[in-house]
Amino acid sequence: MKTTLIMVRHAESPYIFGKERSRELSAKGKEAANKVKEILAEHKNISIVSSPYTRSVQTVQPLAEWKGLSITEYEELRERPIKGLNYKLEERELVKAIQQSFVDKNFCLEGGESTAEAQSRAIPVIHQLLKDHQGKTVVIGTHGNIMTIMMNYFDEKFGFDFWHRTSKPDIYELSFFQNNLVRIQRLWQHG
């Protein structure tokens, strides 16, 4: 029996230091969230879950409203902090650390979370969703880094280079047969 997970990376959200959980979508991001709704509107028999971070919830909210569905939030699906939340890091150094974290899954900067740690908290939720929604479709509001980490768990070719090519938003359909990943297909790339 085929079960489908549709990962929706959040739309554009201006970075505000210290506001990781509460950053909202930009006006452009809200337009893109409506496009996400249009692309996924014809899917039947769906459930919608999300990271609790505002930008992820807002990206799948138009779809949820269109379908008359609630969004179940999972703390375990939050974005992965590669560094501690209390200090700033240059973009170049952050990208370098993310790259290293896919080479060495136990690597993270001080106060951060490794790829292995992020997988150990997020993948049990994915397994539970596959069990609870067997034969159905689950739309997941997510983030670029944790999305890549979850996909990497099932297929290691999804690593840093994949993450680096994703857009905001971005939509990937993961097809599972008896809890085994059989296909990943990009449904839409913003750009």
pLDDT in tens, 131-155: 999 999 999 999 999 999 999 999 9
Ramachandran category for residue 91: left, alpha or beta (phi over 0 → left; psi -120 to 50 → alpha): alpha
Give the pLDDT mean for 8-20: 91
Q: How much is the pTM? A: 0.95
Which DSSP symbol is given to 180? E
- The residue count for the chain: 191
Give the pLDDT mean for 51-66: 98
Biggest distance spanned by C-alpha atoms of the chain:
46
